[in-house]
Chain A
Amino acid sequence: MADFVQLWVYLSSTPLFGLTATLVTYVSAQAFYERMQRAPWANPVLWSVVAIGAVLLITRTPYPTYFAGAQFVHVLLGPAVVALAWPLWLRRAEVRQRGVALVLAALAGGAAAAACAVGLGWALGLPDEVLRSLAPKSVTAPVAMGIAERIGGVPALSAVFAVLTGMVGALSAKYLFDLMRIDVWAVRGFALGTAAHGLGAARALQVDADAGAYAGMALGLQVLLASLLMPLVFRWLS
């Protein structure tokens, strides 16, 4: 038993632990997701996060120790975001034709999400810095952190809110759009990418190629619009 503990202490302190835990857990969660016919509630990111988070908490492994290994997966987010240009390229004629409609929809949806989050949070009595951190939550996490810093929020909080927003979107979009009778894949994907950024786009890519392409574009548009406009709006409000 003592040997096992020593082995665990050794393994959990090397980068190998974080990388192995991430891949093994995700591959298992993905297999389960496939078996459940890709039902939204079986989302592989959600269950991987829950499983790994529980292991870290139970074994009292600090997050930075885990991240030392997981960062090798994390760095690939950069090139993956660049790669979102590929599905757009394949639909370039259609996207150019719909340009104005797409920008207007991104503006309306992004503003509605931010205003609703701040307004509702204010009504429920959340403190000011939490409200300011909620505003950029529909933008992908690294950008949300940058915006939060400029509008007086807490960057780390914004990252957490952005991740939770992405999960809510990925988990519930199917039910919401079915209820609203939105049946065009491009529209469903674009709305999911606008409100739920990368995690939403990841779900859209798994469901339909059109939805994925439009979700990727929506993520990019939201980054550009929110980083330009949100600081201006907050300066004007205060």
Chain B
Amino acid sequence: MLALRGLAWLLLLQALGEALTHALSLPFPGPVVGMVLLLPSLLWAPLREPVKAAAELLLAHLSLLFVPVGVGVITHLALLSQYGLKLLLVIALSTWVGMAVTALVLRGLLRKPPAPEEAPHG
């Protein structure tokens, strides 16, 4: 019941997000606006327990939710076989470059700078 109440809240925030993107013609999808709206809403304590229950359930099975979209790839098999290897090479290499660059930049920025008083004098 708690998870169901949480799901109702999540859907409500998604709907609010969709409404906002349409009304203001924002270039963002409704669910992402809903995610941004949920963060400050969690300051309101009664929302937390139900949202926690629903979020834990949905996020534990997030992979499942991508299966229908994934199967959609079969509708473009002709194109994929036309450029097959080249496309796969481009997609794989650029994904690795993207992951590597993000990880290196973030690791570099999160490393704490040395404390100033340790600097040698004179």
Contacts and interface: CB of A to CB of B under 8 A. Distances in A.
A217 to B, nearest CB: 9
Contacts of A98: 110
Given A78-B30, A108-B105, A134 B99 contact: no
A77 interface: yes
B74 A63 contact: yes
A163 B102 contact: no
B35 A180 contact: no
| A interface majority secondary structure | helix
A195 B101 CA distance: 10
Contacts of B89: 120, 124
Contacts of B83: 126, 130
Contacts of B64: 22-23, 26, 30, 44-45, 73
B99 A169 contact: yes
B23 interface: no
Interface in B29-58: 29-32, 34-36, 38-39, 42, 51-52, 54-56, 58
A25 B30 CA distance: 29
B73 A53 contact: yes
A183 B97 CA distance: 18
Contact of B80 (A63, A87, A160): A160
- Give the interface centre of B56, B65, B96, B106 by most chain A CB atoms within 10 Å: B106
B109 A105 contact: yes
A86 interface: yes
Interface string A22-33: 110110001000
Contacts of A195: 95-96, 98-99, 102
Contacts of A77: 31, 65-66, 69
A57 interface: yes
Interface in A93-120: 98, 100-102, 104-106, 108-110, 112-114, 116-117, 120
Q: Nearest 5 pairs between A and B by C-beta?
A: A113-B98, A109-B102, A195-B98, A101-B109, A86-B55
